[in-house]
Structure 1
Amino acid sequence: MITFYPGPSKVYPQVGPYLQEAVESGLISANHRSEAFMQMLQHTVLSLKTKLDVPDDYEVYFVSSATECWEIIAQSLISASSTHIYNGAFGEKWMQYTHKITAGANAFYFDSETVPDLNKLYFQENEVICVTHSETSNGTFLPSSFLSELRSRTENLIAVDATSSMAGVALPWQNADIWYASVQKCFGLPAGLGVMIVSPRAVRRAEEIGENKHYNSLLFIRDNFLKFQTPYTPNTLGIYLIGKVMEQVEQIEIISEIIQQRAKNWYQFLAENGYELLVKNEAVRSGTVIAVHAEKTRIAELKKAAKQDGITLGNGYGKDKETSFRIANFPAISDEEIAVLKGFLIRTASNK
């Protein structure tokens, strides 16, 4: 079965041999305070920062998932309030979860065909600004120009959900203070690990707040990672695998160029073959999650036919659940697999 599901998605084929290596090395049975583990964690962090071009003074932590990052940010970095700028289901979920913890999460919803109007936003002092870089639910993304302008307008902490873009496209790290993602998308790895990347400004803010009440308090996590340890028994296998994948992949600038060209080809192909794109505005279409719109019955027919041909299409999500399907455009997916899906879509287009 070829999968284009946008998370969990296809893992790199090399992950199988890496799993065997991990078992044979004995590392996944090692204590997470051991020298062997600490050396592996240090190597993994360095490899990730090198391949993704993360600034030297930004710190990398591994947690359980992107969802856990919602909790860490709410507990350790939000002292009063947050403003959540979103147009889709995952941005909204982040806001709702934060509100449960802080009761001070403000929503700023914008239309999925537009870029948020910063002239309509006012941020309170020390308020954390939360944005979704690539909204997985509807196939939109925020252009780098938006993040650059946002950064130029405020000294507030900016947190970015980069779950469907980190390790797939080059990110403007300096334009935000907290970046996070899960590895089951562009990293090409099994689910069960989150990556959190924070700026010196975010560290200073965490120190000012001084929250250290939880096993996943940011300061507690940081104290351990500075020693290349973890605050709790970690997903050692996941950390090992991300290190191995970071060794094998190209620099992010090369990967990003490939992904963007693939996306351009996808959007052109779909339009030429009579498929309606969910996002009409080219300027805000995601390069990593491509959403296609159709009537409910047509979507059901396409997904059923694809499954019979050994292809898994991504379901729609949220309000577009039954009237769209999504195509993952992640680095682990091969050109040969894309050709198979395109062949299927050509055949099914002729049967409309």
Structure 2
Amino acid sequence: MTKPAAKPARPWFGSGPTAKRPGYSLGALPASLLGRGIRAPEVVERFAQGLRLTRAVLEVPESHLMLYTPGSDTGAVEAALWGMLGERPVQVVAYENFGLTWLADVKTHLGLEPEALTAPWGELPDLSKVDWSRDVVFPWNGTTSGVRVPDGNWIADDREGMAICDATSAAFAMPLPWDKLDVVTFSFQKALGGEAGIGVMVLSQRAVARLDGFKPTRPIPKLLRINDGKGFDRALADGVAINTFSILTIEDWIDALEWAEGAGGLTELIRRTDANYAALEAWVEKTDWIAFLPERPEIRSTTSVCLKFTDARVAALDDKAQKAFVVRFKALLEGEEAVFDMEPHRNAPPGLRLWCGCTVETADVIAAAPWLEWAFETAVGELQAR
């Protein structure tokens, strides 16, 4: 197959960190606070401004409190698990790598006995089996499996337990029903293409009440400690950091949020994401060697889109050989600087994964498709020539 004539203008399709916003320039970030102390009033105010913008763009209700955590979304989820679980039984909805990670942590490190609701890669567990007398931990969107929950209708309004939602590849790309979620976590480096290392936690008043009233007997590492000994540490909701955060990373985050607000807010971010997904979906449906990993359209992610090989020549290979095929596929594309970071998560089945979030341009998704076809035909040709 002849190499395509045109390349994506912005060939970044990795699922984290994701593509920077259109028009991004590192040199445009403010530098006046660099080198200042993390507790300086001006720095704390700048951090608080980041939280205010996050609330505005995500349309988080004023009743909910927000804070930063170390360790990106992983740190945010872990802080919630360590600080809140143990008062009542726990269920973990685990249908991809990170849900399985939270399941292992709750069981192994917290010493609890969670009930697991699991499903094979590309599928969603039976959500009718969720028991809302328990605290329920779940990803809204499975970054590593390309599966998402279809909506929030399965979450009980009269729940007794907490709904603890890992939303890191859903925030800013999918509508989140805030009245049904008690803890929501995400990171800078997913949907808005921020820099890595800092997570965000959103707490409902029910979650704040849990932190105020429940005192775990386990020791909690400082980096995960959002309780000041008396209850939830309210200073965190004012922009105070648990440890020393990068001011440059916060400025980068504020830049992304200001772009998002100027672009049209959450409605426009979701529209951009849906348009990117639709462009990729149209290509998948007319291409005979690739298909979505999730077979059911209603549970397919619109951000971390995961695909599987259906061509008999590749599907016949064992898992190790298929992974080697993906490595070659990736090398061909990146050697041409046409598509970067399209490989699946290391624990996921072999295939492709392309980020279609709002910082990606639809024209670049369309331009990437012929390059995927070229790389596939080239890699298959090399496979048959061996």
What corresponds to 2:156 in structure 1?
Answer: 151
Gaps of 5+ in 1: none
What's the Cα RMSD here?
A: 2.4
Q: Is 1:252 aligned to residue 260 of structure 2? A: no
My pick for the range that moved more, 310-319 or 63-72, is 310-319
Partner of 2:39: 33
| Aligned-partner Cα distance in 2 for 1:53–1:228 | 18
Code of the residue aligned with 2:81 in structure 1: it is A
Secondary structure of 2:138 counterpart:
strand
Give 1:174 deviation, angstroms.
Answer: 1.6
How far does residue 150 in structure 1 lie from its aligned partner after superposition? 1.8
Aligned to 1:67: 74
**Cα gap change, 1:41 to 1:301, in 2 (>3 Å):** closer
Task: Note closer, same or farther for the CA distance 1:47–1:119 as it changes in structure 2 (3 Å cut).
Answer: closer
Q: Which moved more, 1:334-343 or 1:238-247?
A: 334-343
> By how many angstroms is 1:96 displaced?
0.9
Partner of 2:91: 83
Which AA in structure 1 matches 2:101?
K
Alignment partner for residue 205 of structure 2, among 189, 200, 212? 200
8 Å CA contact 1:72, 1:218 repeated in 2: yes
Match of 1:12 among 16, 21, 27: 21
Does the Cα contact within 8 Å between 2:174 and 2:270 map onto a contact in 1?
yes
Q: 2:107 aligns with which of 95, 99, 102?
A: 99
For residue 283 of structure 1, the aligned residue among 295, 298, 310 is: 298
State the TM-score, normalizing by the size of structure 2.
Answer: 0.82
- Paired AA for residue 315 in structure 1: E
- Residue 186 in structure 1 maps to residue 195 in structure 2: no
Secondary structure of 2:154's counterpart equals helix
- How many residue pairs get aligned? The number is 344
C-alpha distance 88-197 of structure 1, shift in aligned 2 (>3 A): same
Picking from 272, 276, 280, the partner of 2:286 is 272
Q: What do the CA deviations read for 1:39-92 (whole angstroms, capped 9, x no partner)?
A: 212221111111111111111111121111232112211124421112111110
Displacement after TM superposition at 1:162 (Å): 0.9
Which residue identity lines up with residue 369 of structure 2 in the other structure?
Answer: K
Q: TM-score, normalised by structure 1?
A: 0.89
In structure 2, distance between residues paired with 1:301 and 1:234: 38
> C-alpha separation between the residues in 2 aligned to 1:129 and 1:315?
31
Taking every aligned residue pair, what percent have the same amino acid on both sides?
17
Which residues of 2 match residues 301-340 of structure 1 at below 5 A?
301-310=328-337, 311-317=339-345, 319-321=347-349, 323-340=350-367
Give distance in 2, aligned partners of 1:238 and 1:164.
19
Q: Deviations over 1:241-261 (max 9, x none)?
A: 212211121311111022113
Q: Deviations over 1:10-47 (max 9, x none)?
A: 22255534x55332x1x122222222112212221111
Separation in structure 2 between the aligned mates of residue 348 and residue 230 of structure 1, nearest angstrom: 45
Matched to 1:308, the amino acid is G
Considering fraction of residues, name the structure with more helix: 1
The answer as to whether partners of 2:183 and 2:207 remain within 8 angstroms in 1 is yes
Paired residues of 1:165 and 1:288 also in contact (CA < 8 A): yes
